[in-house]
């Protein structure tokens, strides 16, 4: 099929909504990354998402809502803590794992009896959910394992001929996928995947916030996943990515020693001017780094990079989300210098 590029004008949104109603898959913008949207209740439509991405079937999808009143249609139980968190952080980049209603098929939930739910803040995403009349399953709109897309152009590159349409809603403002949490008790949440909503932010609502070990460490073979982004190598360009922790001088010495054809570096703003290898920068603070990380990783493939040494951000605040994406892009290959 030919993948149609639509704008965010009213008539194009109506066309995209009709495609969703008819069981088609549409690339849509959210504040985090672009998603591959389909009716979350329609197993045939959801299967098309998995086929387009080449996504493993045990990797659950997140269901997106436009109105808090839809939550009861998706979640079999909504604890008081979930209501508090929704009031504070929705619409926005926070996903909660909740017991699912029977109408959510196993393919959407990755075979689990729970489902991830969030309400995006992007006006185009919310408009399409309302116009289609359906909760939308929408994982990142990239080939599975490749860096997530933050522009419509990224989606077109990955999905041309695989999905019905892409709605161009501009560049994503956050740049990394939502924070995913599990409600462990009435006063404790566990972060399964870090994002823009940080542990410190959650701590203003919840007395106890813990980090799942899988955020920074590889899951063991056969271990079940509770959230997208926990099990498999993700976010990787074709180039071999190596994450480097340490001072700038030590990083620069390492890269200079390795300098040869195909070697590149990804560093912070203001660095890299004296490196003898091709170099890209990805911001000066954690918010800028989150916005830029996926587009920069994709850019290295345009440069035909073979190996990329990446300056590791501090794994704190939003930087934890960036570090989490990079350690997976590197297949957990980290050098200390």
The pLDDT tens digits for 6-39 are 999 999 999 999 999 999 999 999 999 999 999 9
For the stretch 140-151, pLDDT in tens is 999 999 999 999
Taking the C-alpha atoms of residue 3 and residue 26, their distance in angstroms, rounded to an integer, is 9
Mean pLDDT along residues 139-164? 97
Q: Could you write out the DSSP letters of every residue in 64-121?
A: E-SSGGGHHHHBS---HHHHHHHHHH-SSSEEEEEEBPTTS-HHHHTT-SEEEEE---
Percentage helix, strand, coil for the chain under 3-state DSSP, each rounded to 5: 30, 20, 45
Residue with tokens 């190598």: 233
Taking the C-alpha atoms of residue 169 and residue 83, their distance in angstroms, rounded to an integer, is 29
Q: Lowest mean pLDDT of 87-96, 199-208, 250-259, name the range.
A: 250-259
Do residues 79 and 86 touch, judged by C-beta distance below 8 A? Answer: no
Higher pLDDT, 56 or 226: 56
pLDDT band, very low/low/confident/very high, at 227 (cuts 50, 70, 90): low
Taking the C-alpha atoms of residue 246 and residue 165, their distance in angstroms, rounded to an integer, is 44
For residue 231, pLDDT beyond 80: no
Give SS3 for 240: strand
User: How high does pLDDT run on average in the chain?
Assistant: 94
How far, in whole angstroms, is CA 276 from its chain's centroid?
33
Mean pLDDT along residues 117-122? 98
pLDDT band, very low/low/confident/very high, at 128 (cuts 50, 70, 90): very high
For residue 165, pLDDT beyond 60: yes
Q: What is the pLDDT of residue 56?
A: 85
pTM for this structure?
Answer: 0.94
Mean pLDDT along residues 85-111? 96
* Strand partners of residue 62: 116
pLDDT band, very low/low/confident/very high, at 1 (cuts 50, 70, 90): confident
Residue with tokens 């959910």: 129
DSSP 22: T
pLDDT band, very low/low/confident/very high, at 167 (cuts 50, 70, 90): very high
What percent of the chain stands above pLDDT 90? 91
Q: What is the dihedral of CA 136, 139, 311, 302, to 10 degrees?
A: -110
Give SS3 for 45: helix
Pairing of strands 179-185, 279-281: unpaired
Q: What is the pLDDT of residue 222?
A: 55
Mean pLDDT along residues 185-194? 97
Domains present along the chain, CATH in parentheses? 4-215 (3.90.870.10), 240-336 (3.40.50.11030)
Q: Lowest mean pLDDT of 104-113, 199-208, 230-239, name the range.
A: 230-239
For the stretch 300-317, pLDDT in tens is 999 999 999 999 999 999
For residue 118, pLDDT beyond 80: yes
């Amino acid at each position: 099929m030919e993948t149609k590029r639509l704008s965010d004008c009213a008539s194009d949104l109506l066309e995209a909504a009709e495609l969703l109603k008819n069981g088609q898959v549409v690339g849509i913008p959210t504040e985090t990354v672009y998603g591959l949207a389909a009716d979350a209740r329609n197993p045939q439509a959801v299967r098309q998402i998995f086929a387009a991405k080449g996504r493993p079937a045990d990797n659950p999808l997140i269901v997106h809502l436009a109105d808090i009143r839809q939550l009861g249609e998706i979640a079999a139980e909504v604890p008081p803590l979930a209501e508090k968190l929704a009031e504070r952080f929705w619409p926005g980049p926070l996903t909660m794992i909740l017991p699912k209603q029977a109408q959510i098929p196993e393919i959407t939930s990755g075979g689990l009896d729970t489902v991830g739910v969030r309400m995006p803040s992007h006006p185009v995403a919310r408009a399409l959910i309302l116009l289609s009349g359906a909760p939308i399953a929408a994982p990142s709109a990239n080939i599975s394992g490749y860096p997530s897309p933050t522009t419509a152009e990224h989606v077109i590159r990955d999905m041309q001929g695989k999905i019905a349409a892409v709605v161009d809603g501009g560049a994503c403002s956050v740049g990394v996928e939502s924070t995913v949490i599990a409600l462990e008790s009435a006063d404790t949440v566990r972060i399964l995947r870090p994002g823009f909503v940080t542990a410190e932010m959650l701590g203003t609502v919840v007395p106890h916030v813990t980090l799942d070990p899988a955020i920074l460490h590889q899951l063991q073979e056969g271990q079940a996943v509770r959230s997208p982004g926990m099990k498999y190598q993700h976010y990787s360009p074709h180039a071999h990515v190596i994450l480097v922790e340490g001072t700038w001088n030590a990083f620069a010495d390492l890269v200079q020693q390795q300098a040869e054809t195909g070697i590149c570096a990804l560093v912070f703003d203001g660095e890299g001017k004296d490196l003898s290898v091709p170099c890209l920068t990805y911001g000066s603070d954690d918010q800028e780094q989150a916005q830029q990380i996926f587009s920069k990783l994709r850019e290295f493939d345009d440069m035909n990079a073979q190996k990329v040494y990446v300056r590791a951000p501090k794994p704190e605040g939003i930087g934890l989300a960036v570090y989490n994406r990079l350690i997976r892009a590197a297949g957990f290959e980290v050098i200390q210098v």
